[in-house]
Structures are given as structure tokens and as C-alpha cells.
Amino acid sequence: MCGIVGYIGERNCIPILINGLKRLEYRGYDSAGIGIVDDDSCLIVKNKGKVSLLEDKLESLDLKSSIGLGHTRWATHGIPNEINAHPHSNEDNSIFLIHNGIIENYQVLKKGLMGFGYKFLSETDSEVLVHLIDSFTKRGHNLTKSVQLALHEVEGTYGLAVISSKEPDKIIAARKGSPLVVGIGENENFLASDVSAIIAHTKQIIYLEDGEIAVIKKDEFTAKTIYDNAIEKEVHEISMTLEEIDRGGYAHFMLKEIMEQPESLRNSIRGRIIQSEGDVVLGGLTDVVEKLANSKRIIITACGTSWHAGLVGEYMLEQFCRIPTEVEYASEFRYRNPIIEKDDAIFFISQSGETADTLAALREAKMKGALVLGICNAVGSSIARETNAGVYTHAGPEIGVASTKAFTSQLTVFALIALLIARRKSLSRVDGKQIADELLLIPDKVEKILLLNDEIEKIAEEFKDATNFLYLGRGYNFPVALEGALKLKEISYIHAEGYPAAEMKHGPIALIDENMPVVFIAPKDSTYEKILSNIQEVKARGGRTIAIASEDDNDIDQLVDYSIKIPNTIRMLMPILTVIPLQLLAYHIAVKKGLDVDQPRNLAKSVTVE
């Protein structure tokens, strides 16, 4: 994530950058900074914390410049602090840059640059870029060429903006994987990671594409590839309102976040899989991986949707790592004086990293001497800081109260952890590779499922007036049934329950009649035939049925009222796919009922009370 804004023109850039950064804070806000050219030299002001703190600092400095860059950070490499905040500059402070994305080969590049005497101040991957560019300017290349040459050596993703005090008439911007737009004004031009940061100044927008580099002057814009081929770019006139833009043009943050999942999942996986080895690298667990693999028991502790992710994690860890695993509600764990042995490892899962019950459970476990590990989305959050080690989900900020993309990223991280441990135990390279290969295919499969949005909306129309819903699944898809029911409850206020499908006959079957829609999560796996019997049982009692089924399953249509067909994958990864239609179903039902999807009644995004 991270937000980028840039300005070159005739006005003082400081208020433009600050206002732009405030609009970008939804992309991250653990630290912020600006860089300007002042009297032929570069000046950087940055700090830990929100943009408002940076604003206060700048007010007291009373700076002015007609060229500058601003950045608000969502930490990936290196904790949120002033040194790791952007911009980063070269040694003589003549070049500075801001970067969004992840430089995957930064360690190799860093080693090479250190060999040439470059000194690094921060823990970021981004700092490598500024020294790499500097190394090319030192060989006599101008700034544009130096950025191009540097990017030839870079693996990973970037939305990048660079300024040199030796060429103070231009901003160089480059994009690969992280969005960047250029705004065209009168004797002034703008740059941003999304249009919301600059829309107050111009509606004339150029979208940079991957592999493109832009040279932005106050009255000129040119684009080329990083291999120096010129490109003609089209200027688009933006008609959206600011509010619409924040939501990326979607009606709600929840829908935006559902639709973002191919990208958020790619971010969760990026740089973590060694495909040829069928293995995984999780930097945050390196120091504890041995202990983790040798643990006698794993406990997973969380609340809400994160707890559902933990249930799927339990299935994965037990199947592949053969370590007994228990999943606990954080609130229950904490209050029942849990038995913790010295060889136990305890995972605390939290999107926000601030949930009071999870944090309290973590402190309790830590006090009892357990190895405490975090799976968090918010970087630098309390749970992330207080655990011994952990893994970030990298799903990006989640704003809709009902968790969607954070959940699928949590499942992805559990799959990575299971693979990491299993490879250190008995899993072969070949079997590990099969999981790794399948995991890498998941974002594309999610993309395919999202194309069913209109179809799912029609099903939602059919069921929007129901007052009860039942969700049934088996094995890995039982926690998905719970999550599907929770999604519907949270935003549509329809009473919904999730059950293991086989449990239906022990109670819920008494509820089945024509007013009780039942959602079956029924992909073709080893429990498929059993699920078919459960569907028959519901049909026999007049219940209306919806099935999430495999795309090659033509038989199920004869049995159910509606089927939503999705691609297949290995069992352990199936929940990442099966939950997507359930998120969309809940979303559309709530919208059709005219409810406030992003801020449902009585709920909060981050529950910091016990």
C-alpha cells in the first residue's frame, strides 16, 4: 500500500502535498514524509505517525518550494519509524525518492551497493533504489536514464517518484504493479498513487501502465518504457466525485475490498514462495521456525472472522504438519486460566492487531511463558509488536466493517505457515511444490469467481426477504459456512447460522421449510457425496437451496434451486475460493435491503473494549 503524491509548478507545493497525503491516509498511516528542492538542495521532513503530525512539523518550519513529493507509509520492510519513513535520499542529499511496493531482490542489490561503499540508514527495501539510481548518475547518466537503468536491475513492484536537485525541473515516475497517475494542470502537473489525492486540482488524468516511466515537468509530460521506447499516453477526463474516488468507483468499501482480493492475495504471497523447492520463506518466523516445527501443540486464538480463519488454519496444520492444534476464542482462552506447556506455540490472529480480547489473551499467554506468534494485517499494531514473531498478511487497509480481503489473506498466510512447517517435517519437495503451485494460481481463480458478481446479485434479489438462513459445509468448508453466515448477519441483520453439514440432522433440520434458505458449500471433494445426501434431505422438506459447487459439476443443478460454479483447487485452499461468493451474496442482500453496508449498526471495525 502506501500513498504517493507529487507536485511541480508555480505554487508552493507544501499544502498541496499535505492535503493530498490526507486523502491517501486510508492507504496507510504509520509514518509520513515530504521532500522538496529548496535553494538547489534537497530537503526532507518526515516522522512516525499520521500526516497531521507531519503537518504540524511543517507549519513550524515555514518551507516553500514549487517541486516536491509526499508519502504516507504502510510498512512492509522495517518498522514504522522516522528513519524508515519516505523519502529516502542518497548520501550527498541530491536525489530523493518515494516508493510504494516491494523490491524483492533488495538484499542482493543492497549487498552489491555496500560493496561499492554505499551506506544504508534504514531497514527498507526502498532505500536500495535511491543508491542504485545514484550509482548510475555517478557514471555520468542523467536522472531519467539512471532511473531506467536502475529499474532494469530491480525485481518486484514499484510505484516510484524521484527528484534530483541537480535537475530541479522534473519529477521522474515509474510504475510496475503499484498504481500511479499523472494529473495535468495549467503550468503545473501532479503525480499520485490514486486520483483522490489530486482531483481537487485537476480532472485531466493520465494512467501510467506497468513498465512505463514518466518525465513530468511543470509544462510538459513525456512517457517512455524503462527500455527508452517513447509512448503516447491518452489524457482521461475524470467525472467521479471525491467520495466515489475514495471507494475506487465502487458503491461501498466492502465491494471494493471484495473485488481487490486477487491483488491482496498476490500481495500476501509475493516473495514468499520458493516454487522449485516447494518451500516458503517467511522472514518474520525465521528465528522461531525450528521451535515451531518441534512444538507439541499449536493453539490459535482470535475473534470474529479471524477466529474462522483460525479454524481453517487448524485443519491445515493438523493435515500437513501433524501437530495437534486447537482454536480458541480469545475471550474464552483468557478467562479460563489456560493450560500452557513449554512446547506450545500460540498464534494470535487479528486484522487490526488491536482487538482487546485478542491482545489480553496474548498478554496472558506471554506471561505464562508460551511462544507467542502474530498473524496481523495492520503493521506496527499492538499485537504485531507484542508477539515474539509473526507474519503480516499484507492485505492492505480494510475499511468495510465486515472483513473480506483480510480473511482470505489470513487463510493464505496459514497455508504458507503450514507449508513452511510441513517441509521441515515430513512433506516432500514434490508434495510441497504441488501446494506452492496451487497457491500461486489462487489469485487468478478468485478473479474468475468475481466475474460471477451479476449472477450472485440476481440470487440475492430472490432471497433478500428471507428472515433466516442456514449455511452448511464439511471439512475445510465448515469454517466457511460459519464465515458465510457471519457475513450475512453482520450487514443484512438476517439471522443466519453456520453448521457442519452432518450436524444438520441433530437439530437444525427441525427448522427446514420453504422459508429457510440453505446455502451448501459443496465443491467436488472427498465429502461431496455426503453433502449431496444433505441437500436431498433439505429438498425433501421443502427448503430452498443454493450450492457453491465445482465448475465441472453438472449434476448438482438437478438438485438445487441455484448453483454458483467456481474453479477447483486442492482441499486446503478451497476455502479461499468458496468464501468469495458468500461475501458477494451477503453484500448484495444487504444493499438490496437498503442497509449501511460499510458501517452496519452496533458493530465496529476494531473492537478495543473487552
Q: Known catalytic residues?
A: 2, 605
Give the count of alpha carbons within 13 A of 84, CB side only: 19
Nearest to ligand G6P of 366, 605 (CB atom):
605
Nearest to ligand G6P of 173, 589 (CB atom):
589
Alpha-carbon span 304 to 309, nearest angstrom = 9
Q: What is the dihedral of CA 253, 259, 262, 265, to 10 degrees?
A: 30
Nearest to ligand G6P of 351, 545 (CB atom):
351
Least distance (Å) between residue 56 CB and ligand G6P: 29
Place of cell 511463558: 369
Query: Per-residue DSSP letters for 326-384?
Result: EEEEHHHHHHT-----TTEEEEEEESSS--HHHHHHHHHHHHTT-EEEEEESSTT-HHH
Nearest to ligand G6P of 8, 582 (CB atom):
582
Least distance (Å) between residue 477 CB and ligand G6P: 19
Nearest to ligand G6P of 84, 409 (CB atom):
409
Nearest to ligand G6P of 198, 303 (CB atom):
303
Query: Per-residue DSSP letters for 550-588?
Result: ETT--SGGGT-SEEEEE----GGGHHHHHHHHHHHHHHH
Q: What is the CA radius of gyration of the chain?
A: 25
Least distance (Å) between residue 300 CB and ligand G6P: 12
Alpha-carbon span 301 to 541, nearest angstrom = 38
Least distance (Å) between residue 597 CB and ligand G6P: 13
Q: Are 193 and 3 within 8 A, CB to CB?
A: yes
β-pairing, 468-473 vs 297-302, is unpaired
Least distance (Å) between residue 352 CB and ligand G6P: 3
106 is written with which cell numbers? 533488495
Q: Are 303 and 460 within 8 A, CB to CB?
A: no
Nearest to ligand G6P of 183, 498 (CB atom):
498
Alpha-carbon span 573 to 477, nearest angstrom = 10
Q: 78 Cβ partners below 8 Å, 6+ apart?
A: 84, 122, 123, 124
Least distance (Å) between residue 606 CB and ligand G6P: 6
Q: Please, what sign has the CA dihedral across residues 172, 174, 178, 180?
A: positive
* 493 beta partners: none
Residue with the shortest CB distance to ligand G6P: 304
Place of cell 535511491: 130
Nearest to ligand G6P of 46, 405 (CB atom):
405
Give the count of alpha carbons within 13 A of 476, CB side only: 26
Closest Cα partner for 374 from 101, 365, 26? 365
β-pairing, 562-566 vs 545-550, is parallel
Q: Show the CA angle centred on residue 254, arms to residues 250 and 255, nearest 5°.
A: 45
Strand, coil or helix: 527: coil
Least distance (Å) between residue 376 CB and ligand G6P: 8
Nearest to ligand G6P of 344, 483 (CB atom):
483
Which positions touch ligand G6P (CB under 6 A)? 303-306, 350-352, 355, 358, 401-403, 603, 605-607
Least distance (Å) between residue 377 CB and ligand G6P: 7
Alpha-carbon span 570 to 15, nearest angstrom = 52
Closest Cα partner for 453 from 596, 248, 266, 250? 250
Least distance (Å) between residue 257 CB and ligand G6P: 11
